[in-house]
Amino acid sequence: MKDAIPGLDPATYRSHALHDPERRWPQTNCYVDLLIEVLHATGHDPVAALGFTVAQDFEGDQFTFFKFPTADLQQLAGLDVQELAIFDRLVSHVSTQVELGRLPMVEVDAFYLPDTKGISYRTTHSKTTIGINGIDTRSRRIVYFHNDGLFALEGQDYDGIFGPADRLPGDGLPLFPYAEFVKFEARSAALDIPALAASLLSHHLSRRPKLNPIRAYSAAFGRHVEALSQRPPEYFHTYAFNTLRQVGANFELLSSHLEWLDKHGREGLRDAVQAAGAIAEGAKVMQFKLARAMARQRFTGLETTLEPMAEAYDVVMSVLDTRITTSAKAA
């Protein structure tokens, strides 16, 4: 089996500390989780690349589905992410890219992913993204990054991921998946990663939302609750993933990034570290409360949990304006 990143084995692979089960949000979203592990597997610290999380917004119906900006990945780690056009058999494109030492990232149906056993494997159809590190077309087996680890699948699951062997684009529905691939470029060993990370954080800080996104969510929450009250209890998981999990996971990652910067020469960020952590914790508490409210169909008073999170957001931005924006202007 040819591997894009050599020497990785699902049986011995150890995930990055950002995916420690003891964290408040050990999983964030499939795209960020995948690239955390790709950075980790290629010898780069993903914590250094998390400055973009400072720009998350509330988008009216959901919090930003946050992703690593491709420009940040290229500057910090030499990861060049490009779209993979699918005009032939999907398995052919994947094989070609892996042979060239590149990592294809493909949207697939979690129904066929064994690592989701107990969640969606062979029970529920849902879209997710995997990074295919190795492929053996003869044995019908792949090794892939997904969520917080490295896994393998074969046989019928392989067929489910790639579809019939004779299927080509244009044959009709369903549509072929969106796919990208990662090219790995060498980075200079002399690159000052902390300085570059601080510069990128300053850039993302300059494009942060004009209004406090948690207060914007709080203002819309009444409408959300009204809609939730008309939904079955199981809808809670879909709603929470796109709102509370995204904001909670985002700010836990920001907290980790700021703590890393504080330890690498950007002192004075401890209050922001703690405040970002408070947002992550508040989102987790809110998720538990909302789950109970959905079960009981009683939603009164929930919005009070959001105000401390909104206040913590103001603290984060105030500290960063003082310690990061001001420093960048002085430089």
Domain boundary assignment for the chain: 2-43+79-184, 193-330
Q: What is the mean pLDDT of residues 7-32?
A: 97
> Residue 137 pLDDT > 70, yes or no?
yes
Helix (H) and strand (E) counts in the chain = 11, 7
pLDDT, tens only, 35-89: 999 999 999 999 999 999 999 999 999 999 999 999 999 999 999 999 999 988 9
Q: Report helix, strand or coil for 172.
A: coil
CB 166 within 8 A of CB 17: no
Backbone φ and ψ for 129, nearest 5 degrees, come out as -115, 135
**How far is 139 from 200, CA to CA, in rounded Å?**
44
Q: At a CB cut-off of 8 Å and minimum separation 6, what does 255 contact? A: 273, 274, 276, 277, 280
Confidence of residue 165 (pLDDT cuts 50, 70, 90): low
Tell me what the pLDDT averaged over the chain comes to. Answer: 93
Report the chain's C-alpha Rg in angstroms. Answer: 21
CB 113 within 8 A of CB 146: yes
Q: At a CB cut-off of 8 Å and minimum separation 6, what does 290 contact? A: 228, 236, 240, 244, 302
User: Using alpha carbons only, what angle is made at residue 194 by residues 197 and 246, rounded to the nearest 5 degrees?
Assistant: 40
Q: Is 240 left (phi over 0), alpha (psi -120 to 50) or beta?
A: alpha
User: Using alpha carbons only, what angle is made at residue 140 by residues 127 and 16, rounded to the nearest 5 degrees?
Assistant: 55
pLDDT, tens only, 260-309: 999 998 889 999 999 999 999 999 999 999 999 888 888 888 889 999 99
Q: Is 115 left (phi over 0), alpha (psi -120 to 50) or beta?
A: alpha
Confidence of residue 7 (pLDDT cuts 50, 70, 90): very high
pTM of the model: 0.94
pLDDT, tens only, 211-222: 999 999 999 999
